Amino acid sequence: MQFPARFQHQHAPVRNVNQVFEDQRSTGDRIADRFASVMGSWSFIIIQSCLLIIWVTLNITAWVLHWDPYPFILLNLALSFQAAYAAPIIMMSQNRQATKDRIEAHLDYEVNQKAEEEVRVILQHLEAQNDAILEILRRLEHLETAAAGGASPA
């Protein structure tokens, strides 16, 4: 009886999606991602809210020279500039996240293919074991009937 050859893994190792993504990012990408993470934090919102409250309070109470009297046109201009630059940078960061998601989906697909191949090989191995066990049982039954037929009654 011939035994099947041992299974050798023929596929590449699983890759870390975070490492693959990091290897593709440029310095500009890293800066934009850091900028987006700061702008999307509670710290930024709280600090900006405090600055806006101070700005409005100082201009309403006139404790300091009125550099931006009501309706706060200079403040609106500053916030418009901030929004004009923040929105595209945040969009760039979101686009990179979408790219990372695509890379992750592709790597997941590769892992699924490898798992499918492993399961197929395991099933083939189990089938070979079943065939070997059935062959052993057949030979044992053959030996048993041969021994029973050739044995003399006592």
Domain containing 125 equals 21-146
On whether residue 13 sits in a domain, the answer given is no
Q: Greater confidence, 100 or 134? A: 134
Q: Has residue 14 been placed in a domain?
A: no
Report the distance separating Cα 138 and Cα 145, nearest Å: 11
| pLDDT level of residue 149 (50, 70, 90 thresholds) | confident
pLDDT of residue 65 exceeding 80, the answer is no
Establish if 151 belongs to a structural domain. no
Q: Give the per-residue SS3 of the chain.
A: CCCCCCCCCCCCCCCCHHHHHHHHCCHHHHHHHHHHHHHCCHHHHHHHHHHHHHHHHHHHHCCCCCCCCCCCHHHHHHHHHHHHHHHHHHHHHHHHHHHHHHHHHHHHHHHHHHHHHHHHHHHHHHHHHHHHHHHHHHHHHHHHHHHHHHCCCC
- pLDDT tier for residue 2 given thresholds of 50, 70 and 90: low
State the number of CA atoms in the 13 A half-sphere of 107 facing the CB.
15
**Mean pLDDT on 133-142:** 95
Q: Is residue 34 part of a domain?
A: yes
- 109 is a domain residue: yes
Task: Report if residue 36 sits inside a domain.
Answer: yes
pTM of model > 0.85: no
Q: For residue 19, what pLDDT is reported?
A: 85
Is 131 a member of any domain?
yes
Q: How many domains does the chain have?
A: 1
- Tell me, yes or no, whether 48 lies in a domain: yes
* Token couple for 52: 């806006």
